[in-house]
């Protein structure tokens, strides 16, 4: 019976019966895809459950019989699989040095996904960045081959998942550094932070750092003050950065979004709204999540952005041609929310039909023996519907001067429509997946206040440089020409002060195990490591063993990152005066001003 079998034998039996499901194995059928298995188990996949049920020993261990039905013990199965990964693997070493994930953690649904994965990537259905050409992908292997041929850098980001009871001071206000103000006259020192009569900060802000922690740091100053949130998060296609993350599967992606949406809701005004743009991979699951967070009665519309291009790999798919994104539109209150009705102008051909005038000089159209008068209110345009096919994507206009070398970039005309419909001049617009800065650039041109958060280093070459062009009036876009934008305004740039985050960046930059081992002493002496970590065991034994040396570099990096205390990735405001962090007096003063703790 299964209860008398050791765990290794049970694991072998599981792998044996699951050999019948080709989805769970790599091409050589030598390694079980455990991430996919657990994802399928969570979804109660009929094929997987049936295979496990047919084996008597597994049926006795992982099922309970109630009358004539067998109930699958999902949590027990997940825990067993996590605790019994292959011997001599990354997991075995992780357990040995004190970084094991406990049973309570695995069953805890209140978790936080901290790290932000790579966003500048080849998205499924996305376009190339080379020579202004369009390339479309139907299958992930084509995207990967393309990425390799073009020499795009493959970044590795390991998501960190924390249980609620592991959170110490993760969400405390963070110290803020590297303050700079940018105006038409160039870069300037930040001497003060402007506020309006009620004390609200009246500055355009660009913030570099983890967006979850940045949102919590914004909460004290901006709770209930943001009129519009627009975000364009990673789509979790399997071709974007999430494919490089350990177990960053469907459920973890949703947790990643849940953490951020919950605090984002607190920032919205009572009449505020949020727009989230995705494709088919996750939009329907996110709809259910947002129903839970914002309330089902606050769902307003699913906007379909039609950007169909009939070319490339899409056309050979044995299926309907994909060609749209979805934008989920929610309010904070079901009826009292800001919405400016926008009108879509009629075509010139429509106007030409009113080609006659009556004796009073009124324009008329005569058709089928009936006379119709031009109505200044009705005939200037018609309201927009929830299907938008008049805004071209960069797949449809690959040579646009507005386009940057960034897959997934959205056109300014798309953001213009959303911002005009949801805000008035002076309102605050927030985008915490800043990307290339489309939202912040458009909001500035439309005289809104903007707050933008981005973690990746391309902020310097994409987002910040674009905003400098915007305030200088040199940014070339259709919107700039349409509204005759000549520049104006300014913005403040600052960063969350990094601590363990710096150590993580050093780990990721290592090119071999020798460099990682050299870094370990610095990590032990300078940074905050997990309280569970057996430092002596790792330093004196583990790093010398051949099995550890034979782990892939990615697994070795993942282990080193796992040693870091996630509560200390950035420096808390309350600790910024500690000399070991090296934060100068000017940054400390501005941080205090920002949080309004120093007048």
Q: What is the pLDDT of residue 346?
A: 67
CB atoms within 10 A of CB 266: 15
Q: What is the DSSP letter of 596?
A: T
Q: What is the pLDDT of residue 511?
A: 94
561 membership: H or E segment, kind and range:
helix 553-562
Q: How far is CA 95 from CA 85, 98, 102, 528, in A?
A: 11, 5, 10, 19
Q: What is the pLDDT of residue 598?
A: 54
Q: What is the pLDDT of residue 76?
A: 86
Q: What is the pLDDT of residue 357?
A: 84
What's the rounded Cα separation, in Å, for the pair 341 and 133? 36
What's the rounded Cα separation, in Å, for the pair 393 and 67? 57
What's the rounded Cα separation, in Å, for the pair 446 and 420? 8
Backbone dihedral region for residue 451 (phi beyond 0: left; psi -120 to 50: alpha; all else: beta): beta
What's the rounded Cα separation, in Å, for the pair 252 and 496? 25
For residue 348, which of 375, 380, 377, 385 has the smallest C-alpha distance?
380
What's the rounded Cα separation, in Å, for the pair 103 and 112? 16
Domains delineated in the chain? 2-84 (no CATH), 161-168+179-342+384-493 (3.40.50.150), 500-594 (no CATH)
Q: What is the pLDDT of residue 119?
A: 46
Reading the block at residue 177, the tokens are: 């550094």
For residue 144, which of 51, 239, 231, 76 has the smallest C-alpha distance?
239
Q: What is the pLDDT of residue 376?
A: 59
pLDDT 10s per residue in the chain (599 long)? Answer: 455 688 888 988 999 999 998 888 765 556 787 778 888 888 888 999 999 999 999 999 999 988 888 899 888 898 888 777 654 467 777 778 877 644 334 444 578 888 755 544 332 322 333 222 232 222 233 333 333 333 333 444 567 778 777 888 999 999 999 999 999 999 999 999 999 999 999 999 999 999 999 999 999 999 999 999 999 988 766 555 444 343 446 777 888 899 999 999 999 999 999 999 998 888 999 999 999 999 999 999 999 999 877 665 556 667 888 889 999 999 999 999 999 988 777 666 667 777 788 877 787 887 777 877 767 566 567 788 899 998 988 878 888 888 887 777 899 999 999 999 999 999 999 999 999 999 999 999 999 999 999 988 888 889 999 999 999 999 989 899 999 999 999 999 999 999 999 999 999 899 999 999 999 999 999 999 988 889 999 998 998 999 889 888 888 998 899 899 999 999 999 999 999 999 999 999 999 999 986 54
What's the rounded Cα separation, in Å, for the pair 181 and 179? 7
Reading the block at residue 416, the tokens are: 């213009």
Q: What is the pTM of this model?
A: 0.77
What's the rounded Cα separation, in Å, for the pair 588 and 299? 42
Q: How far is CA 60 from CA 1, 38, 40, 64, 107, in A?
A: 8, 19, 21, 7, 21
Helix, strand, or coil (residue 95): helix
Between the two ends of the chain, the Cα-to-Cα distance in Å is 72
Residues 6 or more apart whose CB falls under 8 angstroms from that of 580 comprise none
Q: What is the pLDDT of residue 238?
A: 54
For residue 325, which of 411, 383, 253 has the smallest C-alpha distance?
411
What does DSSP say about strands 226-231 and 428-431: parallel, antiparallel, or unpaired?
parallel
């Amino acid at each position: 019976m299964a209860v008398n079998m050791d765990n290794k034998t049970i694991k072998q039996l599981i792998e044996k019966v699951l050999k019948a499901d080709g989805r769970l194995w790599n091409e050589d059928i030598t390694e079980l895809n455990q991430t996919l298995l657990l994802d399928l188990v969570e979804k109660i996949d009929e094929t997987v459950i049936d295979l496990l049920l047919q084996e008597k020993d597994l049926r006795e261990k992982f099922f309970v019989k109630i009358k004539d039905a067998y109930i699958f013990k999902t949590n027990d199965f997940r825990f067993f699989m996590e605790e019994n990964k292959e011997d001599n693997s990354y997991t075995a070493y992780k357990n040995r040095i004190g970084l094991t994930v406990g049973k309570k953690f695995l069953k805890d649904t209140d978790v936080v996904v901290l790290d932000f994965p790579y966003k500048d990537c080849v998205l499924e259905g996305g376009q190339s960045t080379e020579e202004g050409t369009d390339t479309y992908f139907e299958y992930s292997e084509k995207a990967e081959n393309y990425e390799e041929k073009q020499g795009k850098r493959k970044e590795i980001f390991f998501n960190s998942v924390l249980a609620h009871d592991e959170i110490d001071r993760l969400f405390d206000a963070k110290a803020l550094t590297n303050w700079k103000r940018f105006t038409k006259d160039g870069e300037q020192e930040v001497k003060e932070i402007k506020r309006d009569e009620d004390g609200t900060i009246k500055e355009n802000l660009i913030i570099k750092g983890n967006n979850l922690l940045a949102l919590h740091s914004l909460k004290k100053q901006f709770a209930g003050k943001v009129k519009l949130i627009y975000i364009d998060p990673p789509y979790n296609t399997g071709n974007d950065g999430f494919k490089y993350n350990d177990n960053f599967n469907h459920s973890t992606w949703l947790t990643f979004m849940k953490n951020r949406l919950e605090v984002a809701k607190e920032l919205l005004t009572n009449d505020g709204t949020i727009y989230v743009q995705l494709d088919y991979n996750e939009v329907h699951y996110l709809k259910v999540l947002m129903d839970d967070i914002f309330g089902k009665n606050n769902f307003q519309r699913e906007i379909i952005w039609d950007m169909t291009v009939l070319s490339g790999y899409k056309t050979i798919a044995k299926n309907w041609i994909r060609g749209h994104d979805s934008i989920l539109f929610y309010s904070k209150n079901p009826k009292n929310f800001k919405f400016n009705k926008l009108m879509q102008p009629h075509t010139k051909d429509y106007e030409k039909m009113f080609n006659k005038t009556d004796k009073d000089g009124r324009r008329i159209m005569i058709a089928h023996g009936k006379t119709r008068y031009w109505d200044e209110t009705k005939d200037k345009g018609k309201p927009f519907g929830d299907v938008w096919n008049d805004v071209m994507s960069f797949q449809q206009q690959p040579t646009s001067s507005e386009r940057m070398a960034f897959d997934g970039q959205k056109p300014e005309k798309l953001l213009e429509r959303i911002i005009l419909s949801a805000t008035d001049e002076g309102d605050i617009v927030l985008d915490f997946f800043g990307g290339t800065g489309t939202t912040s650039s458009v909001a500035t041109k439309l005289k809104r206040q903007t707050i933008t958060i981005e973690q990746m280093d391309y902020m310097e070459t994409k987002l910040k440089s674009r905003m400098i062009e915007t305030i200088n009036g040199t940014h070339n876009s259709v919107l700039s020409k349409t509204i005759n934008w000549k520049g104006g305004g300014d913005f403040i740039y600052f960063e969350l002060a990094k601590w363990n985050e710096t150590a993580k960046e050093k780990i990721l930059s290592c090119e071999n195990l020798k460099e990682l081992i050299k870094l370990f002493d610095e990590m032990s002496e300078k940074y905050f490591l997990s309280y569970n970590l057996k430092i002596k065991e790792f330093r004196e034994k583990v790093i010398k063993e051949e099995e550890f040396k034979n782990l892939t570099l990615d697994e070795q990096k993942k282990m080193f990152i796992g040693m870091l205390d996630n509560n200390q990735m950035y420096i808390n405001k309350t600790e910024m005066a500690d000399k070991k962090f090296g934060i100068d007096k000017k940054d400390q003063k501005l941080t205090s001003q920002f949080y309004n703790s120093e007048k």
